[in-house]
Amino acid sequence: LGLITGFFLAALLAAIMSTVSSQLLVSSSSLAEDFYKLVLNRGASEKTLVAIGRISVVAVGAVAALIAGDPESEVLDLVANAWAGFGAAFGPLVILSLTWPRMNGAGAVAGLVVGAATVGLWIFTGLKAATGVYEIIPGFVLAWLAIYVVSLATKDRGEFRSTISAPAE
């Protein structure tokens, strides 16, 4: 059991480290190329940009460590809220676009808006705290219903039909 747990923890840490290193590289590149070179010094040499990139990695890492070290930090809650918003907005849309040929563009837009709005309202009105229900659940359900109802109520123009999933008319 300990060996299996160790493998799972190693896999988890590998995924975390991969994500963190990617985010550090993207942020340092963005700060060096998109901010320093475009805003502060248009004629910056490659050597200067490499130095700015390295300084950026240290600075971003230090800020991340400070945020992670704060027990009152709400970064995890922010990430959970963002995941709920994306999941509720895009989850039903992806599933229904792959499985239900009647879904149309109006239904897709309705699902995106209703899913994201439901998550936002669930969080900001205090329903999450009052009910203890994770906001992705009502957002997902209401987005699914919005896609279904609006798709049936509007004309199907075949936006989501492909030659593979549906026969040509």
pLDDT digits 0-9 by tens, 45-73? 999 999 999 999 999 889 888 888 888 87
Q: What are φ and ψ of residue 160, in 5° steps? A: -105, 10
Q: How many CB atoms lie within 10 A of CB 91?
A: 17
Model pLDDT, residue 163: 47
pTM of the model: 0.61
CB 76 within 8 A of CB 68: no
| Maximal C-alpha separation, the chain | 61
Strands (E), the chain: none
